[in-house]
C-alpha cells in the first residue's frame, strides 16, 4: 500500500498551500446553513433524541462559490468532486460549479415503495396522506415530503423496472408496507435494505406536522366541530338534511352537546327512544350541519365513512377533538391499562385515517385486520388499541418494530428522488 499523509486542521487554510492539479478526489460535507431555522434535536417518544443540535459551524453562512477557485486549481483534469449538501443549497452549488466543470450531477435518495403506499405529502392542495400512484401524477416540483425535521423537495418520479421483486414489511402497529428489496429504512443499526431487515429491527419514525397555517373558520370552532365529526363517524348517519346519532339513554351529556352545537349552527335536535331497550337516537335537522359534515366526511355507512383531505388542513387541536368524539362514540376505555380499545367493521379508509390521526397527534396505535362472528355469521373487521402516551412497562414494544418480512404480491413500485437528508419515515406507523 502506498504511503499517505493525514492532515488534521482547518481545510480553508491548508487548501491554500496545496499544489495545482494534485488532487484526484475532493470529498466534502460542508455546513447546510441550518442555523437560521433548525429547532434542535428530533424528539422521539420511544428512544433518545436524534442528535441534530446546531453546531458552531452552522451559525456561519456557507457559500459554495467561495471554494470554487481553489477546488478548480488543485483538482486534476481527471479528478472528481463529491459534495454532500441539502436541498436549500443545491441551486448555489449548481450555479457556481456547473459552468466550470464538465459534468454536474446529483446523487439522490431513492425511495422504492409500492404504488399503493400512502405517504404524507405537501402539495398545492394542502398537507395530506396520498397514495404514491396518485401523487406521481403531480409535478414533483410541487410536492414535498416530511423528513422528520422539515419538508423536503421531491426531485422526480420514476417507475421501478418491470419484474422488480418486492417484499412486504409488517410492523407491530399492524401497518404493512410493500417495497423493493433495495429500499432502505432508517434504523438503529443504520440504513438497512428491505431484504436485510430482521424481525426486531425498529424503523425510525416521527410525528407528522401541522400545516403552517391551519384552516380555522371562525364559525366552525375546533373543539365543537371536531368532536361532532368524530361522533358522526362513530355513531352517525344522514338522510337529506336529517342527521341522526345513536347512543344509550345514559349518555345524556353527549346528546346535550349535540343539541348545543346544532343550535349554534341554526338547527334543532330531538332525542327519542327507538327500541324497547336502552337505545336512543338524537336527530338533528339542519342543512348547515349537514353541509359541514359533508365538507369533512365522505361515505354514508360504517363500511365507507372516512375523513376527507380537508380534515388534515385543520389544526391538531381540531384533530384531537375529532379523535375524542370518535372514541367517545365507538371506543372502549380500558382504565386499568390506560388505553382505548378499537373495533370496527373492515373499513380500510377509516383504518388509514386512524393511522394518520395518531401520527399527527403523537398517539401510539396498534390496528390489525381480523375476523369476528355474529349470530353464526363471520365478518371482517379491525381491532386495536390507542395509547395517548407510552407506558413505563419494561416489556412495552415500539409500534414500528418489524415483526415480519415476506414476499409481496405487489408488482408496481414507484421511486421518489429526494436530496440525501431523509431522517425518519413519514409513513403513519405510530
Q: The domain that contains 288 carries what CATH number?
A: 3.10.28.10
Residues 394 and 256 in one domain: yes
State the average pLDDT over residues 27-39. 75
In angstroms, how far is the first alpha carbon of the chain from the final one? 50
Q: Contact 429/176 with Cβ under 8 angstroms?
A: no
Domain range for 198 is: 109-205+404-418
Last residue within a domain, chosen from 67, 97, 127: 97
Q: Determine, yes or no, domain membership for 63.
A: yes
178 shares a domain with 50: no
If asked whether residues 285 and 265 sit together in one domain, one would say yes
| Same domain membership, residue 149 and residue 123 | yes
* In a domain? residue 211: no
In a domain, 216, yes or no: no
If you write DSSP's letter for every residue of 169-220 in order, what string do you get? EEETTS-EEEEETT-EEEETTEEEEGGG--TT-BB-B-PPPPPSS-B--TTS
Q: Using 50, 70 and 90 to split pLDDT, how confident is the model at 428?
A: very low
Beta carbons within 8 Å of 151's beta carbon, 6+ residues apart: 122, 144, 145
Asked whether residue 261 falls in the same domain as residue 345, the answer is: yes
CA pair distance 107, 127, nearest whole angstrom: 27
Higher pLDDT, 152 or 290: 290
Report if residue 102 sits inside a domain. no
Total-model pTM: 0.73
Residues 234 and 330 in one domain: yes
CB of 152 closer than 8 Å to CB of 419 = yes
Secondary structure of 357-370 in HEC code, one letter for each residue? HHHHHCCEEEEEEE
Q: What is the mean pLDDT of residues 21-34?
A: 87
- Domain harbouring 122, CATH code: 2.170.16.10
Which of 138, 120, 140, 142 is CA-nearest to residue 129? 120
Contact 407, 166 (CB under 8 A): yes
Q: Which residues pair with residue 382 across a beta bridge?
A: 344, 369
Question: Residue 33 sits in a domain of what CATH number?
Answer: 3.40.50.150
pLDDT band at 120 (very low <50, low <70, confident <90, very high): very high
Q: Which residue has the higher pLDDT, 385 or 146?
A: 385
Q: How far apart are CA 293 and CA 244, in angstroms?
A: 12
Q: Are 229 and 296 in contact (CB under 8 A)?
A: yes
Query: Cell triple for residue 327?
Result: 372514541
- In whole angstroms, what is the distance from residue 143 CA to residue 135 CA? 8
Q: Are residues 252 and 352 in the same domain?
A: yes
- CA angle, 347 as apex, 354 and 424 as ends, to 5°? 35
Confidence label for 231 from pLDDT (cuts 50, 70 and 90): very high
Distance CA 401, CA 187 (A): 10
The residue behind cell 376505555 is 333
In a domain, residue 238? The reply is yes
pLDDT at residue 339 above 90? yes
Q: What cell numbers appear for 341 in the block? A: 380499545
d(CA 383, CA 369): 7
For residue 426, being part of any structural domain is answered with no
* Of 3-12, 97-106, 228-237, 334-343, minimum mean pLDDT range: 97-106
Domain boundary among 97, 120, 151: 97
Q: How confident is the model at residue 423 (pLDDT cuts 50, 70, 90)?
A: very low
* Residue 351 domain flag: yes
| pLDDT at site 104 | 65
3-state secondary structure of 40: coil
Residue 365 and residue 230 share a domain: yes
Which residue among 41, 72, 97 closes a domain? 97
Shared-domain flag, residues 242 and 371: yes
Partners of 368 in beta bridges? 383
Kindly state whether residues 264 and 285 are assigned to the same domain: yes
Least confident of 76-80, 291-295, 331-335: 76-80
pLDDT digits (tens, 9 = 90+) for 262-309: 999 999 999 887 666 788 899 999 999 999 999 999 998 999 999 999
Higher pLDDT, 226 or 140: 226
392 and 248, same domain (yes or no):
yes
Q: Any residues with CB less than 8 A from the CB of 304 and at least 6 apart, and which?
A: 298, 347, 349
Q: In this structure, is residue 428 part of a structural domain?
A: no
pLDDT tens for residues 389-402? 887 776 788 999 99
Q: Is the pLDDT of residue 70 over 90?
A: yes
Counting the structural domains of the chain, the total is 3
Residues 380 and 409 in one domain: no
Element (H, E) at 313: none
Please, which pLDDT band fits residue 233 given cuts at 50, 70 and 90? Answer: very high
Using CA atoms, how far apart are residues 3 and 119, in angstroms rounded to an integer?
49
Starting from the edge strand earliest in sequence, which strands make up the sheet with 268-273, in order?
236-239, 242-248, 279-285, 268-273
Amino acid at each position: 500500500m502506498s504511503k499517505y499523509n493525514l492532515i488534521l486542521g482547518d481545510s480553508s487554510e491548508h487548501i491554500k498551500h496545496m499544489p495545482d492539479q494534485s488532487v484526484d478526489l475532493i470529498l466534502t460535507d460542508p455546513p447546510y446553513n441550518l442555523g437560521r431555522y433548525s429547532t434542535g434535536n428530533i424528539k422521539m417518544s420511544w428512544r433518545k433524541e436524534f442528535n441534530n443540535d446546531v453546531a458552531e459551524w452552522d451559525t456561519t453562512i456557507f457559500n459554495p462559490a467561495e471554494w470554487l477557485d481553489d477546488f478548480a486549481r488543485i483538482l486534476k483534469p481527471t479528478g472528481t468532486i463529491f459534495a454532500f449538501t441539502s436541498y436549500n443549497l443545491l441551486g448555489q452549488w449548481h450555479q457556481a460549479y456547473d459552468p466550470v466543470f464538465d459534468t454536474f450531477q446529483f446523487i439522490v435518495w431513492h425511495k422504492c415503495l409500492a404504488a399503493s403506499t400512502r405517504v404524507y405529502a405537501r402539495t398545492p392542495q394542502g398537507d395530506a396522506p396520498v397514495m404514491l400512484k396518485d401523487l406521481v401524477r403531480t409535478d414533483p416540483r410541487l410536492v414535498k415530503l416530511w423528513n422528520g425535521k422539515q419538508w423536503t423537495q421531491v426531485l422526480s418520479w420514476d417507475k421501478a423496472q418491470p419484474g422488480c421483486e418486492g417484499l412486504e414489511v409488517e410492523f407491530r402497529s399492524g401497518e404493512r408496507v410493500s417495497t423493493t428489496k433495495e429500499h432502505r429504512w432508517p434504523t438503529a443499526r443504520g440504513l438497512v435494505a428491505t431484504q436485510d431487515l430482521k424481525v426486531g429491527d425498529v424503523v425510525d419514525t416521527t410525528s407528522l406536522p401541522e400545516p403552517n397555517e391551519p384552516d380555522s373558520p371562525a364559525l366552525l370552532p375546533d373543539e365543537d366541530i371536531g368532536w361532532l365529526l368524530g361522533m358522526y363517524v362513530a355513531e352517525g348517519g344522514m338522510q337529506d338534511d336529517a342527521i341522526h346519532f345513536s347512543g344509550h339513554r345514559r349518555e345524556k351529556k353527549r346528546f346535550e352537546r349535540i343539541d348545543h352545537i346544532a343550535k349554534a349552527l341554526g338547527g334543532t335536535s330531538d332525542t327519542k327512544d327507538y327500541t324497547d331497550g336502552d337505545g336512543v337516537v338524537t336527530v338533528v335537522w339542519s342543512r348547515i350541519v349537514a353541509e359541514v359534515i359533508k365538507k369533512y366526511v365522505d361515505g354514508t355507512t360504517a363500511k365507507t365513512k372516512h375523513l376527507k383531505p380537508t380534515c388534515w388542513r385543520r389544526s391538531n387541536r381540531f384533530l384531537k377533538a375529532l379523535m375524542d368524539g370518535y372514541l367517545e362514540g365507538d371506543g372502549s376505555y380500558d382504565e386499568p391499562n390506560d388505553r382505548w380499545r378499537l373495533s370496527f367493521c373492515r373499513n380500510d379508509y377509516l383504518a388509514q385515517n386512524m393511522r394518520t390521526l395518531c401520527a399527527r397527534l403523537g398517539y401510539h396505535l396498534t390496528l390489525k385486520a381480523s375476523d369476528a362472528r355474529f349470530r353464526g355469521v363471520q365478518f371482517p373487521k379491525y381491532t386495536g388499541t390507542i395509547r395517548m402516551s407510552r407506558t413505563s412497562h419494561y416489556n412495552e414494544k415500539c409500534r414500528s418494530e418489524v415483526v415480519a418480512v415476506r414476499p409481496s404480491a405487489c408488482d408496481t413500485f414507484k421511486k421518489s428522488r429526494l436530496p440525501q437528508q431523509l431522517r425518519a419515515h413519514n409513513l403513519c406507523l405510530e
